[in-house]
Structure 1
Amino acid sequence: MDVIRTRRDLHQHPEVGFTEFRTASRVVEGLQSLGYDVLFGADALDEASRNGVPSQKELDQAYKRAIDDGANPEIISKMQGGLTAVIGILEGHAPGPTIAFRFDMDALPVHESTENDHFPQKQGFRSKYEQTMHACAHDAHTAIGLSLAEKMAEGSFSGKLKLIFQPAEEGGRGAHSVVKKGVVDDVDKIYCLHLGLDVPLGEISGGSKDWLATTKMMIEFFGVPSHSGASPEKGKNALIGAATALLNIHSLPRHSTEQTRINVGRLEGGSAVNIIPHYAKMVAETRSTSAMVNAELENKIKSIVKHSAEMHELQYNLEVIGQAIPITCDQELITLIKEEAAQIDDFTSVQDYHKGGGSEDASLLIKRVQELGGKGTYMIIGTTIPAPHHHQKFDIDEQVLEPTVKLLERISKRELV
C-alpha cells in the first residue's frame, strides 16, 4: 500500500465528524482485503453516546456525496446516521496480549487555500469539498493506520492487534461512544499518536503532557417574536439572553493553581432588523489542566445560562456536545517507543515528553484502558508544517509517513512476540 497515495486520496475527500462515510468505507475495504475481522456501524460505537452529531440534513448530504465519490453502498448502509467508527481486529497464531492503536479520521470545516505555494494545491490533491479540509493531519493518521494493517496482515505474532479508526475527534465527540461500546475493554496497551504539533521533522516523543480537560456545550435560547417598532414589549429577545450569557461566561475568574480556558466560539440569532429575535444559539467551551476545575467551570456556565434565560423570560436548552480529560502516559510505553524509534535512522531526536496544550479525546480511550489495569500513551511525531494546525494552509511533510509506519510496526512486533 502506498501510504502517500492513500493520504492524498483522503486529503482530497475530507469529511467532518460523524460524516466520514467515504473514509470509513475505504478503511473497511482495506482491512477486509487484508483478512482482518472488521467491526463498523453500530458494532463499532454506541450510537446513543455520541456527542455533537450533525443534523439529519447534513448527514444525508454527506452520505449521498460519499456514494457519488465511490464509497461502497453496501458498507456505508450500515453507517447511516453517522455510525462511522471502524475497528480492525487481527488474531495472532497463539494466545497473547491485546494491543491497540488509535487513528482519527475526521476533517475540519476550513476552506483550504488555493494559493500556488500550498503543496496540495500545487500537486493537485487539494480538497474537492469547499469549506472542508484536512487541516490537522487526520488524513495522514488514517493512511498510517492502513499501512500498519498491511504490514501486520500475515499475523505471525502472538496475541491480538486492534486498530481503532475513530470518527469525530475534533470537538472531543467520537471517543466517548467507542469507549461506551466496550471496544477497549480487552486492551492491555493502547498507543495513540499525532503528527506535527510544532515538533520538527525527525523528532519524536514517546509521551505527551499538559493536555487539557474540556467540555463543549451547545446552548439554545427560545423567546417570543414581535414587531420591534409597533409592539416590542410583546417580544422576548432570545439574542439578548444569549449575549448576556456570553459576556458573563467570558467574565468568569480564572483559577490560581490550574490553567483554565473559556471561549464562546459561535453566536447566532435573529432573522430581521425589525423583528424581536425569538431564537439564539451559541457554542461554548471550558478547558483546564484539572478535570475537577473544568467541571467547576462547566457548572458555572450552566448556572449563567439558566439565570440569563430567567432574566429575559426565555426558555433554554443546554447540551454537552464534546468532552476530553487530561492524559497520563505510562513510562513503560514511552521507554519502549524511544527504544524502537532509536533504531530508525529518520528519527534523530527521541524525547520522553512533548507538551500537548490542547485537548484530545483519545484521553478517554487511554483512561479506560488504564482503569482496567492496562497502559497507554500519546506520542507526538514531528513533521514540518507550513502553517498552524486548523489553518487553511496546513500541510505535513510526507517524509514522515513511512518512518511512522515502520515505528508502529516495530512496536507491534515487539509487543506481540
Structure 2
Amino acid sequence: MNIDACLEELNPKLIHWRRTFHAFPETGWTEYVTTYRIYEQLQALGLTVYTGTDVVETSARMGVPSDQELYASEKRASEAGVPEEFLNKVAGGHTGVVAVLKTGKPGPHIACRFDIDALPIEESDTYDHVPAEKEFASSLPGSMHACAHDGHTAIGLGVATWLAKNRDELTGTYTLLFQPAEEGSRGAKAMVEKGWLDDVDVFLGGHIGIEDLTVGQVAATTEQFLATTKFDVHFKGTAAHAGKRPEQGKNALLAAAACAQHLHAIAPHSQGATRLNIGTLHAGTGRNIVPDQATLTGETRGETNELNDYVFQEAERIIHGSASLYGVEAEMKVVGKGTSAVCDPEFTRMLEQASIRTAAITEVLPVLSLGASEDVTHMMNRIQARGGKSTYMIFGTPLPAGHHHPRFDYDEGVLKTGAAAFILLILECNQRGKQR
C-alpha cells in the first residue's frame, strides 16, 4: 500500500474540510451544523453512523448551555440547512458523531478520537491572519476555532475515508469518535459513560500544535496532562439605593471581586505544578445600585488528580469565605472535569518503525509535554483500566500565535502529517493483531 499516494489524494479534501469547519465554528454542545456535516460525510462512506443520545449519555454531559442558547443554536442550524428530522435527533445539546467499521475478520478493536468544538473568541480580521486573507475566517461573531479542532475533525474524516477505501485489506473493528464539548473538559465523559470505549484494544488521539514545531515532526506520546475542574460561582446579595440606603445592600460584586483576588493567592504545592484561573466576572446592573448578583467562572488544574483536588478545595474555602465576608450567598457548580493520564510507551517504537513508509513524517519525538488539560484522558483511562493501550500524539506545526488566541492558525501541511500518523499506527496495530 502506497501511503504517500493515499495522502496526496486525501490532501485537497483535508484542506477543504478544515476550512469549511473553520468558517462555521460552534462551541460545546451547540455543534449542530458541524455534527450534521460530519454525519453526511461518514454516511456517504458507507460506515455505520450514530448520533444524538446514541452517542452521549445525557446525564453525564457537563456544562450544557441554557435552553435559550441551545434553542438559538438550533434555529441557526435550521437556517443553515440542517434538516428538521436530524435536528430533532440531536436537539437539547446531544451533538457529536460516532462511526463504526466492522471488517468481519478477527483483529483488534481500534478507536480514534477527534474533537469538534470551537471557542468563544472573536477571530482576528487582520490582513496577516491567513483565514481572513483567504476568506475562510469565522462567520459566527464571537466564536472561533482557536485550538485546531477544525483540523482534528478534518483529519478524522480523512482517516474515515481511508478506512472505507481499504476495508477489504483490514481486520478487526474501528470506532471513530467525533467528540463534542472538549473545551472546558465537558464532553468525553459522556461518550465514555455511553460505553463506546468498553471493549477497545487500542486508543489513538492527537492534537495539532501545542508547541512551535515544524510540519513533519510528531510526538508519539504525551506527558503532563493536567487534571482540571471547571466551576461557575453565583453570588447573591441584596440590592439597595447606593446613595440613599447603601447600608441595606449586600454587595455581590465586591464579594466576587475579593474572591477573584484571593483565589489567585492560593499557595503552590511542593509536590508538583498547580494552576488556577478566573476567566470571567459579571456583576451589577447600574452605577447607582448596590449589586445583588455576580457570577464568575474559573478553573483549577494540577499535575495529578490529588494536586488538582488541593487547589479546588482551597478555592471552595475561599469562595465561601469571601461570600461570608460580605454577607452574601455563594452557589458553586462544577461544569467540567478532566483527569491526569499516562500514555503507553510502546507507541513510540511503533510509530518510529511505521514512519519509514511516508515522507509526511520527518521525525518521531518520543514524548512531548502537554502542560495543559484534555478530557481525552477519560477515554484513555477507561481503555487502560480494561487492559487496552492508549496514546495521544502531537503533530508539529509553526504557530503564528498561541492556542486560544484571536490570531491562532497553523500550517495546513500538518493535516497530512496527522492523518499519516493515525493511518500508520492503525496499520501497525492491525499487523500485530494478525501476528498474534
Q: TM-score range by the shorter chain?
A: over 0.9
Per the alignment, residue 261 of structure 2 pairs with 247
Of 71-80 and 7-16, the range deviating more from structure 2: 71-80
Question: Distance between the aligned counterparts of 2:373 and 2:348, measured in 1?
Answer: 20
Q: Does 1:375 align with 2:386?
A: no
Structure 2 SS opposite 1:224: coil
Q: Please tell me whether the aligned partners of residues 205 and 338 of structure 1 are also in contact (alpha carbons under 8 angstroms).
A: no
C-alpha deviation, 1:87, in angstroms = 0.7
Structure 2 SS opposite 1:342: helix
Q: Does 1:128 align with 2:143?
A: no
C-alpha deviation, 1:255, in angstroms = 0.7
Q: Please tell me whether the aligned partners of residues 344 and 403 of structure 1 are also in contact (alpha carbons under 8 angstroms).
A: no
Question: TM-score, normalised to structure 2's length?
Answer: 0.92
Q: Please tell me whether the aligned partners of residues 113 and 179 of structure 2 are also in contact (alpha carbons under 8 angstroms).
A: yes
Per the alignment, residue 46 of structure 2 pairs with 35
Write out per-residue CA displacement over residues 203-246 of structure 1, whole angstroms, 9 at most, x where no aligned residue. 11100111211111100011111111111122211112212322
Per the alignment, residue 24 of structure 2 pairs with 13
Residue 359 of structure 2 is aligned with which of 336, 340, 345?
A: 345
Question: Distance between the aligned counterparts of 1:175 and 1:14, measured in 2?
Answer: 19
C-alpha deviation, 1:96, in angstroms = 2.2
Q: Please tell me whether the aligned partners of residues 215 and 417 of structure 2 are also in contact (alpha carbons under 8 angstroms).
A: no
C-alpha deviation, 1:55, in angstroms = 1.6
Amino acid of the structure 2 residue aligned with 1:110: I
Question: Could you say if the C-alpha distance between residues 70 and 234 of structure 1 is closer, same or farther in structure 2, counting changes exceeding 3 Å?
Answer: same
Question: Distance between the aligned counterparts of 1:249 and 1:385, measured in 2?
Answer: 31
Per the alignment, residue 276 of structure 1 pairs with 290
Question: Distance between the aligned counterparts of 1:6 and 1:346, measured in 2?
Answer: 19
Of 165-174 and 298-307, the range deviating more from structure 2: 298-307
Matches within 5 A, 1:225-244: 225-244=239-258
Matches within 5 A, 1:219-368: 219-368=233-382
Q: Does 1:68 align with 2:79?
A: yes
Question: Distance between the aligned counterparts of 1:136 and 1:309, measured in 2?
Answer: 35
Write out per-residue CA displacement over residues 143-163 of structure 1, whole angstroms, 9 at most, x where no aligned residue. 110111111114222211000
Per the alignment, residue 14 of structure 2 pairs with 3
Question: Distance between the aligned counterparts of 2:214 and 2:83, measured in 1?
Answer: 38
Per the alignment, residue 138 of structure 1 pairs with 149
Q: Please tell me whether the aligned partners of residues 25 and 118 of structure 2 are also in contact (alpha carbons under 8 angstroms).
A: yes
Per the alignment, residue 410 of structure 1 pairs with 424
Unpaired segments of 5 or more residues in structure 1?
Answer: none
Amino acid of the structure 2 residue aligned with 1:6: W
Matches within 5 A, 1:195-210: 195-198=208-211, 199-210=213-224
Question: Distance between the aligned counterparts of 2:262 and 2:424, measured in 1?
Answer: 51
Amino acid of the structure 2 residue aligned with 1:185: D
Question: Distance between the aligned counterparts of 2:344 and 2:392, measured in 1?
Answer: 9
Structure 1 SS opposite 2:19: helix
Percent identity at matched positions?
39
C-alpha deviation, 1:100, in angstroms = 0.5
Residue 182 of structure 1 is aligned with which of 180, 195, 199?
A: 195
Matches within 5 A, 1:34-113: 34-113=45-124
Question: Distance between the aligned counterparts of 2:73 and 2:152, measured in 1?
Answer: 21
Aligned residues: 417
Q: Does 1:191 align with 2:200?
A: no
Q: Please tell me whether the aligned partners of residues 103 and 142 of structure 1 are also in contact (alpha carbons under 8 angstroms).
A: yes
Amino acid of the structure 1 residue aligned with 2:394: I
Q: Please tell me whether the aligned partners of residues 361 and 420 of structure 2 are also in contact (alpha carbons under 8 angstroms).
A: no
Question: Distance between the aligned counterparts of 1:411 and 1:329, measured in 2?
Answer: 14
Question: Distance between the aligned counterparts of 2:337 and 2:349, measured in 1?
Answer: 29
Amino acid of the structure 1 residue aligned with 2:64: V
Structure 1 SS opposite 2:172: strand
C-alpha deviation, 1:281, in angstroms = 0.3
Question: TM-score, normalised to structure 1's length?
Answer: 0.97
Q: Please tell me whether the aligned partners of residues 214 and 359 of structure 1 are also in contact (alpha carbons under 8 angstroms).
A: yes
Write out per-residue CA displacement over residues 272-298 of structure 1, whole angstroms, 9 at most, x where no aligned residue. 111111110001211111210111211
Q: Please tell me whether the aligned partners of residues 274 and 303 of structure 2 are also in contact (alpha carbons under 8 angstroms).
A: yes
